[in-house]
Amino acid sequence: MSQRVTFITGAAGDLGSAVARRLAANGDALILADVDADRLSALEQELSHLGHGVLTRQLDVTDEDAVRAVVDAGVTQFGTITSLFNNAGISGGTFPLPEHPLDDFRRTIDINLVAMFVVLKHALPVIAQNDDGWVVNTASEAGLKANERRGAYAAAKAGVIQLSRAAALEYSREGVRVNALCPGPLEGKLMRVSEGGMPDPEEFRARITAASAVGRYGAPDEVAGFVTYLLTEAPGYLTGATLSADGCRR
C-alpha cells in the first residue's frame, strides 16, 4: 500500500489537531480518535475535503476493547496503519503531595501512561507489517524535570519515556522507529488547566516563560512541524530517542 495511514490519539486537542492538519496536507489518510466528540467532528469536517480519507472515532484510550476496535476499523477502511502519534493525555490535578487525592493520581497515570501502553499494544503489530513504520509517543519536559504540585503528571510522563525506549528496542529491527517527544509548555487547554491549579496563575506563567530561552509558551503548530518530521522522514537510526521541543528550557 503506497498511501501513508496515520493513527492519532488525542486528535482533537491543540497539538493533535495541528499534527492532523499537517499530515492531511501531506496526503496522509487519518484515523483520528479523541474523547471529545464535538471537537473531533469539527476536525473531521475541516479535513475531509482534502480527499485522502479521514476516519474518526470517539475513544476512551483507557478502554482496551475500544482501542482494539479503532485499530481494527482503521485497518478495515485503509488496509493498514503506517504510523502512530500516541498523544492522548490529561493535565491531571495540581496538588501538594500530601493533599493529592489517590483517585486523581491513579487517573493521571492511567490516561497518560497505561493508555499509551494499550495503544502501542494494538497498533504496533499492525505498523510492523509494513516496510517502514513511525511512532511518536507524547511525553513531556515534565518527564525529564518535575514541577512542584505535578507529581502524578511527571511520573506518568517519565514512564512514557521508558516505555518508548522499550518499544524501540523491541520493534526497531522490524523497521519501526519509536521515539518520545517532550514538549515544553504550549499555548492551549493543558497549560490553562495547569495555570488554574496554581495559587497565583499569573506568577506561575511568568515563572514558566522566564525559564525558557525564547521567553514564551510554544505554539502547537511549531511542535507539530517536529512531530510531522518524526512521523514521515525520520531515518531508521533515529529510534529510541527522547527529543525535546521546549524552547530551550533552563
The per-residue pLDDT for range 189-245, each reduced to its tens digit, is: 878 877 787 888 899 789 888 888 999 999 999 999 999 999 999 999 999 999 999
CA distances from 217 to 8, 12, 156, 161 (A): 23, 20, 22, 22
Ranges of each domain in the chain: 5-184+220-239
Catalytic hit among 153, 171, 217, 237: 153
pLDDT class of 4 with cuts at 50, 70, 90 = very high
pLDDT at 2: 61
Which tens digit of pLDDT belongs to each residue from 12-25?
999 999 999 999 99
Residue 153 annotated in active site = yes
pLDDT at 109 over 60: yes
Which tens digit of pLDDT belongs to each residue from 90-106?
999 989 999 999 999 99
Tell me the CATH class for 5-184+220-239: alpha beta
Which tens digit of pLDDT belongs to each residue from 26-52?
999 999 999 999 999 999 999 998 878
**Full-model pTM:** 0.94
Kindly give, in sequence order, each residue whose CB lies less than 8 Å from that of residue 100, ignoring residues fewer than 6 positions away: 93, 151, 152
Q: Which of 225, 233, 221, 241 is nearest to 4 (CA)?
A: 233
